[in-house]
Chains A and B, each alone.
Chain A
């Protein structure tokens, strides 16, 4: 029983990683007042670019760089539409998602001729699991040793990075000048403007950070969690991240917890497949797979109550005349 739990929590960490990265990416964007429904597209675009880069150059790190570049590029398109041209944030985000969904497969077909996939990655082209010091030695110690060596140890670097980004984000948002301005610009951009700070510049910087984090999330999917790019492999993670962001009320630590909860539900779903439940019998795979989504809806509807986001989110900033 305890071992099963450890295994499920271990899976939770792996599944949560891209959610955490994407949700934090969304946190930067939305705190600055930009609605980012294009998280999904950025993850997918980065997953493709990272896998393609890793396949061609044989290095996961080069793949990661390509992934981040692709994602930041998409974020800048979003910024250009929403900040510079004051377009509708949702329309721009949906456009990015749609374009990326098609473009990745098309480019994949053209470059690799493998039905839209990228070549399977192995060796240095993938991020491999890291064994923390003394993990093997401590494996036999009950409970604490098991938690350390089976749960905490044995993940790839991006998993650790994702979790490290939570306190870093907290620090940036609440303890730095940039964070203060970021929060202010999402609440009342005019106050920021009259204080002599450029609203557009802050929002662009927020989107760059958003792009970088989504880039890491995408690279994780294709070069760490899996070994190559598959069509539509982001599978709604961007939307889940957005839900986690709202669930966590735009604050780093609650957002982390929301991501872990969603990840855990996912892990449970995988675990329950094909299992005979007493009194119910075997639950259909589809019913189990839908579980995290149904629970998300229920949680969002029932628990968060008033999730009041940044006041100016989604509204283009125009200097008003009189």
Chain B
């Protein structure tokens, strides 16, 4: 796979790390060739982030050591890592949001007790870096006012400014539009040409195949395989990640939607800060179809789910749901919406979907706990609840099938199954489902997708919100794109492709169209 003449930029030897009972990393060995892009892929919880935190000095390994440029280094703090030429772009940016770009870049590398001199020097240096790697940015902009793509650029600049020769990126594309992600990969290629070694951590197979030279696969805290990217493919990597064969495609028939069940008109929502989060959102949900909401997270999708499900009252607009008209004057709360047969799988299962301290059978009745089925005259009927939970666990393949296990102790995928089963088994007319597979392992994703499709075939109306474009495209019959609280486009699945959706998500589609028209006009 590698030849001995190639110098390694970084080498890990038998790294192990344990958190209490959890073995997060076990005897990890890794060799990264200098000047390459090396991907590390694995499911959520496979130990990728822990490993990177160890390299970056955030955690100390229990055993094992790290070599940088064939020299053993002792990395105990982030400062040690920085001194060894390691830079990191964290999944959640490590930026001070109300600081300027310049202040963020110099933080920790101010070059003296007074700021002025260091800031002036940094300004010059940033200009040089910006030119060399085409990383243009306004250094005096306040970070929180920048789009996420640019915030990420600040993180990269921060690392380069500190002289990083090895750059680690942890799930860098999670918050980016496809176009922003492409741009990022172009930047990474440019960095590689300048001799920077890049370590790319991700759970997205496509990114690995598109941009890396080598790839290492992690599963359950262990490094299970190393491959040259050119000599592997999606199926093999997926199998290595999961440990068994997986199907990556959902089989889905073309939908045959019937009558409209829910019709929302001009929904607006202004939050407590006076910010308009939803702007005149209108949409119809028909029985027997899946409508996907695409968009970069934070563009009003969460607020739409909350308003539709009755969690937050709308500011104006109306929802016609079956025979019921809901508007700002006649609002319905979440419990009333449930009674009207609307089920909701919230985006964040930990905050809104579950009480993680509850046992599984308790979590499995949340929201329906007042139903007659679960209650005796005075007390709740525990036996019914436990039996039902057991039955569902069998049907949905929840592991371990123990109704008395604390919800917190299930894996993400199994927690999600508990939530989805709870909502679906009430036989709703409309199912709102947010980020159904966030933090869910590949095996469970397959299962969850199948169940969603089954519901649709059974004639339910489903609204799917997801930041995973692949998921939206695999499941939806119609795709609605949201940007800045408004619907900016709607496509039938047969007209949808990633490029168009990506442009819509960045609200650049219409501009592009008019530009094209302009060019065509000129050439004519």
Contacts and interface: CB of A to CB of B under 8 A. Distances in A.
A177 B112 contact: yes
A311 B45 CA distance: 29
Contact of A196 (B78, B104, B113, B114): B78
B50 A322 contact: yes
Given A196-B78, A196-B79, A322-B24, A176 B114 contact: yes
A298 to B, nearest CB: 22
Nearest to A175: B115
A241 B19 CA distance: 43
A192 interface: yes
Contacts of A193: 58, 78
Given A183-B96, A187-B97, A177 B115 contact: yes
A188 B113 contact: no
Interface string B107-137: 1111011111010000000000000000000
Nearest to B79: A196
Contacts of A319: 58-59
A306 B95 CA distance: 23
Interface string B193-211: 0000000000000000000
Interface string A160-197: 00000000000000011111110110011011111111
B304 to A, nearest CB: 26
B103 interface: yes
Contacts of A85: none
B19 A321 contact: yes
Contacts of A179: 115
B102 to A, nearest CB: 11
Contacts, number: 79
A180 B59 contact: no
Contacts of A306: 273
Contacts of B290: none
A183 B110 CA distance: 14
Contacts of A190: 94
Contacts of B80: 196
Q: Is the interface of A mostly helix, strand, loop or mixed?
A: helix
Contact of B115 (A176, A187, A191): A176
Contacts of B374: none
A183 B50 CA distance: 28
Interface in B131-158: 158
A139 B108 CA distance: 52
A173 to B, nearest CB: 11
Contacts of A197: 79, 107-108
Contacts of B184: none
Contacts of A175: 114-116
Contacts of A196: 77-82, 108
Contacts of B99: 183-184, 187
Contact of B49 (A192, A194, A322): A322
Nearest to B44: A322
B218 to A, nearest CB: 13
B90 interface: yes
Interface string B304-340: 0000000000000000000000000000000000000
Contact of B110 (A177, A191, A322): A177
A194 B114 contact: no
B98 to A, nearest CB: 6
Contacts of B96: 183-184, 187-188, 191
A181 B115 contact: no
A180 B115 contact: yes
A196 B109 CA distance: 9
Interface residues of A, number: 24
B474 interface: no
Contacts of A195: 78, 82, 94, 107-109, 158
B106 interface: yes
Interface string A244-276: 000000000000000000000000000000000
B56 interface: yes
Contacts of A187: 96-99
A179 to B, nearest CB: 8
Contact of B103 (A178, A180, A321, A322): A180
B455 interface: no
B464 interface: no
B115 A194 contact: no
Given A175-B116, A194-B58, A194-B94, A180 B49 contact: no
Contact of B88 (A177, A184, A194): A194
Contact of B56 (A178, A180, A192, A194): A194
Nearest to B90: A194
Nearest to A310: B98
Contacts of B116: 175
Nearest to B114: A176
A178 B112 CA distance: 10
Interface in A94-146: none
A36 to B, nearest CB: 21
B24 A180 contact: no
B77 A188 contact: no
Nearest to A306: B273
A178 B110 CA distance: 10
B114 A191 contact: no
B98 A176 contact: no
B403 to A, nearest CB: 27
Going nearest first, the 6 A-B pairs with the smallest beta carbon separation are A195-B108, A196-B79, A191-B94, A177-B110, A194-B94, A196-B78
15 contacts: A175-B116, A176-B115, A180-B107, A184-B96, A187-B98, A188-B96, A188-B97, A191-B96, A194-B56, A194-B94, A195-B78, A195-B107, A306-B273, A311-B97, A322-B45
Interface of B: 19, 24, 45, 49-50, 56, 58-59, 77-82, 88, 90, 94-99, 103-104, 106-110, 112-116, 118, 158, 273
Given A191-B96, A196-B82, A321-B50, 10 more contacts: A175-B115, A183-B99, A194-B56, A194-B90, A194-B94, A195-B94, A196-B77, A196-B108, A306-B273, A322-B49
